[in-house]
Copies of this chain bind each other. A is one copy, B any other.
Amino acid sequence: MRRPTLEAVAARAGVSRATASRVVNGQTTVAPHIRDAVQRAIDELGYVPNSAARSLVTQRTDSIALVVSEPPTRVFSEDPLFSTVIRSASVELEAVNKQVVLMLASSAESHARVERYIAGGHVDGVMLISMHGADPLPAALSRLRVPVVSYGRPAVPVDIPYVDNDNVGGAELAVRHLVAAGRRRIATIAGPQDMIGGQDRLAGYRSVLRDSDRRSIVAVGDFTRESGAVAMRQLLGDDPALDAVFVANDLMAVGALQSLRQAGRRVPDDVAVVGFDDIEAAKYTEPPLTTVRHPVAEQAAAMVRLLLGLFGGGPADPVILPTELVVRESA
């Protein structure tokens, strides 16, 4: 009991396979009554084109790899942003009838597998979400002859077009807000320095502090809630008189709020806190978290558009999306 082939459709409609193919592919050079006959045969037989046969001859697969390359710590796939990125990219690709092939690359072994798969021409293009700096994947993929785009600027300089949010600008926004509120001793809990987001947000913090003649007070976390709590305790030890802290992501900010509460500091009265990301949970902290919002879904969608543009010979220029300060009660 095999699925009907184009041959069967053609036979039933009394035309040649070539004509049936034309109808299936929506070519206009087919006489209306013939097109109708073929269409009827297609419906009656429940014909669906065999994609393997099609891509064998067209050399296209109509599927796109979404490669998530995360550090061994699994930071990203536990991140609430993960779902949003996946979802938005999928929706956008499905709108143009491309399939999403999801690939996780965490171990060296899986890296090799991904590379082999991509090299095998199974996909028309690659969307790469790489979360750590030492990742060899961006470089490796850019060497293959497949269009590749990246979610977020690759940590190593490599010739891949990317879509990122304005991490530096967002951090500046946050810190300027603290400066404008009259805070004097503004600390930061930075993210991992092998991630671009970690680096850039710290750079933004530094640049504003420099301009406003304040001393920088830095602790480093790894973007997890727990690390934020630890870093906050450390900062309070380093400078008990600090009156503000810019935290490089909301997850760490939640941890920081916890430590501040335990240390008896009131937020924002004693210490103002600004986070980054505007995750769902930021609305529900005590007090609600002032944070920097960046358009995650839109960034993913822009990445898809960038890739699709590449197919059409479009520009390969990076896209930087603006960030926005969301003022709640913590600062």
Give A residues with C-beta under 8 Å from B. Answer: 1, 3, 46, 48-53, 55-56, 61, 63, 66, 77-80, 82-84, 86-87, 90-91, 94, 97, 99-104, 110, 113, 116-117, 119-122, 145, 225, 254, 258, 280-281, 284, 286
Q: A1-B145, A94-B104, A100-B101 are in contact. List 20 more A-B contacts (CB 8 A).
A: A48-B116, A48-B119, A50-B56, A50-B120, A50-B121, A51-B122, A52-B55, A52-B61, A53-B56, A56-B56, A83-B83, A86-B86, A86-B102, A90-B104, A91-B104, A97-B113, A99-B117, A99-B122, A100-B102, A101-B102
Q: What is the CB-to-nearest-CB distance from A98 to chain B, in angstroms, rounded to a whole number? A: 11
Whether B254 contacts A284 by the Cβ 8 Å rule is yes
Please give the distance in Å from A213's CB to the nearest CB on chain B: 37
Complex: how many Å from CA A16 to CA B84? Answer: 50
A48 B121 Cβ-Cβ under 8 A: yes
Q: Known interface pairs A48-B116, A102-B66. Does A121 touch B3 (Cβ–Cβ under 8 Å)? A: yes
Chain A to chain B: the 8 pairs with minimum beta-carbon distance, closest first: A48-B120, A52-B56, A52-B55, A102-B102, A100-B102, A77-B87, A52-B52, A82-B83
B80 touches A80 (CB 8 A): yes
Residues of B within 8 A of A258 (CB): 284
With CB as the reference atom, state the residue of chain B lying closest to A51.
B122
Closest CB of chain B to A301's CB: distance in Å?
14
7 CB-based A-B contacts, threshold 8 Å: A1-B145, A46-B119, A48-B119, A56-B56, A82-B83, A225-B284, A254-B284
In the complex, chain B residues whose CB is within 8 Å of the CB of A84: 77-78
CB-based nearest B residue for A114: B94
| Residue ID in chain B nearest A47 by CB atoms | B120
A63 to B94 alpha-carbon distance, docked (Å): 17
Q: A91-B104, A94-B110, A101-B100 are in contact. Are A280 and B49 (CB under 8 A)?
A: no
State in angstroms the CA–CA spacing of A52 and B122 once bound together.
8
Give bound CA distance, A119 to B90, whole Å: 20
A254, B285: Cα distance in complex, Å:
11
A170 to B86, CA, bound (A): 31
- Which residues in B have their C-beta under 8 angstroms from that of A77? 83-84, 86-87
Q: How far is the CB of A30 from chain B (nearest CB, A)?
A: 22
